[in-house]
Amino acid sequence: MIQLTRLNNASLALNSDLIKYVEQAPDTVITLLSGEKLVVRETTDQVIERVLEFRRAIMGTLTNFRRPANGDEVTASQPFSDASLSKAEAGRG
């Protein structure tokens, strides 16, 4: 999810996977896959950068997961170093 600001200064957390496209006209208009349109204060470049940062963070988290040699559990090194999942839990994610 990315944090954005509506024109009335209300904060908004948006699931970036739902974005169809972003346009500057002159306000930034985000069109969602559902057809709904959101107008935000951030520029198109800022929205794109927030989406990229979010996806980099997700990919970084995923690449930090490692499976022990015995295959019993999946653990994460960072940022969830205390977390461990059983095989059944790992299959749900």
Residue-range definition of the domain harbouring residue 81: 2-92
Nearest to 39, CA basis, from 50, 28, 47: 28
The token duo for 65 is 């997961």
Q: Residue 19 pLDDT more than 60? A: yes
Q: What is the pLDDT of residue 74?
A: 57
How many domains does one find in the chain?
1
Count CB-CB contacts under 10 A for residue 40: 19
Q: What is the pLDDT of residues 59-77, one digit of tens each?
A: 887 776 666 666 666 555 5
Per-residue b/e over 57-88, b at no fewer than 16 CB within 10 Å?
eeeeeeeeeeeeeeeeebbbeeeeeeeebeee
**pTM beyond 0.85, yes or no:** no
Q: What is the pLDDT of residue 81?
A: 44
Coil, strand or helix at 35 = coil
Q: What is the pLDDT of residues 23-56, one digit of tens each?
A: 998 999 999 999 999 999 999 999 999 999 999 9
Higher-confidence residue: 80 or 19? 19
The token duo for 71 is 């295959």
